[in-house]
């Protein structure tokens, strides 16, 4: 859950650009006639996001009485996504806006696509609205699919609006298995609103982030095992703890809520782990 800069292109300008090459006069006129409704939908998203009001946005199948949801979805799929389409430069601009090319939704996988924060099938007026378009990995995009909030607590964290980077909320715990396993969980600080606490938990669970991070942690454990064994042999459990704590602090400088920071913090504070629990097999 990373925060990224909001796009500066407006919904009206992007919509105008996308429909600029529509040849069919009837379709062109009908699409032009919904431009203000597209702008209004983007404004409504802007006003309701993070306040727990997104579920009050009406889902539509026909707009202005004569434009179908499918026709507005097509503005995205045929006039913004294809390489030579008029909206493609805006698509690309949004796609590369995530720092290090990392998906802001899972904070781990590589950005490969654009995700509609609110699905275009349910909210067709937001099909090409920049505030509704997020750089994302294909897994997050696939999992989110057509989910839409039915209540305030079901709003995913929005990378353009929510900032959960300064407070520690992601933790891990070590399970005494052989090899050790790492489980991740959300524990938001007390000063957050109840709504933000619920939304971060919802986001974490819905996108299966514990499963994603646990797998990464298992790989990491394999990679560091040799080094930990060396430290344990020369400096014992205290040496292992000290080493892991330093590693945690270093990762924390980059992102206090990365799975790596949480994993190293959990390992360093777990006596069983530092005392040989890190071994990949019984010895
Ligand atoms: Zn992702």
Q: What is the pLDDT of residues 88-140, one digit of tens each?
A: 999 999 999 999 999 999 999 999 999 999 999 999 999 999 999 999 999 99
Distance 100 CA to ligand 1 centre (A): 13
Please state, in angstroms and as integers, the Cα–Cα distance from residue 149 to each residue in 106, 160, 211, following that order.
19, 18, 23
For the chain, what's the residue count? 283
Distance 225 CA to ligand 1 centre (A): 28
Integer angstrom CA distances of residue 100 from 95, 141, 204, 240, 252 = 11, 18, 21, 31, 17
Distance from the alpha carbon of residue 224 to the mean position of ligand 1, in angstroms: 25
Q: If DSSP codes are grouped into helix, strand and coil, which group holds residue 175?
A: strand
Rounded to the nearest 5°, which phi and psi values hold at 34? -100, 5
pTM tops 0.85, yes or no: yes
Show me where the domains of the chain are located: 11-154, 170-277
Among 248, 109, 240, smallest CA distance to 172 is for: 248
Position 5 scores a pLDDT of: 94
Distance from the alpha carbon of residue 105 to the mean position of ligand 1, in angstroms = 5
Distance 90 CA to ligand 1 centre (A): 20
Query: Measured in angstroms, how far is the CA atom of residue 122 from the centroid of ligand 1?
Result: 21
């Amino acid at each position: 859950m990373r925060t990224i800069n909001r796009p500066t292109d407006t919904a009206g300008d992007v919509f105008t650009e996308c429909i600029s090459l529509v040849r069919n006069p009837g379709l062109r006129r009908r699409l032009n006639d919904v431009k203000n409704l597209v702008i209004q939908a983007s404004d409504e998203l802007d006003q309701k996001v993070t306040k727990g009001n997104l579920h009050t946005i009406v889902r539509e199948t026909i707009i202005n009485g004569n434009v179908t949801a499918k026709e507005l979805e097509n503005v995205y799929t045929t006039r913004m996504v294809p390489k030579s389409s008029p909206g493609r430069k805006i698509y690309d601009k949004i796609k590369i806006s995530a720092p290090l090319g990392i998906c802001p939704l899972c904070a781990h996988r590589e950005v490969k696509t654009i995700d509609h924060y609110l699905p275009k099938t349910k909210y067709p007026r937001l099909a090409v609205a920049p505030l509704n378009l997020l750089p994302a990995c294909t897994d997050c995009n696939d999992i989110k699919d057509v989910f839409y909030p039915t209540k305030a607590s079901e709003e995913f964290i929005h990378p353009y609006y929510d900032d959960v980077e300064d407070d520690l909320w992601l933790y891990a715990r070590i399970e005494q298995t052989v090899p050790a396993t790492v489980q991740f969980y959300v524990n938001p600080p007390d000063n957050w609103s109840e709504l933000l606490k619920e939304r971060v938990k919802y986001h974490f669970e819905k996108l299966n982030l514990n499963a994603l991070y646990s797998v990464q942690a298992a790989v990491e454990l394999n990679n560091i095992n040799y080094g930990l064994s060396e430290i344990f042999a020369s400096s014992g459990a205290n040496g292992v703890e000290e080493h892991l704590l330093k590693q945690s602090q270093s990762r924390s400088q980059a992102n206090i809520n990365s799975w790596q920071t949480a994993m190293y913090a959990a390992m360093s504070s777990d006596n069983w782990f530092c005392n040989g629990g890190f071994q990949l097999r019984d010895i």
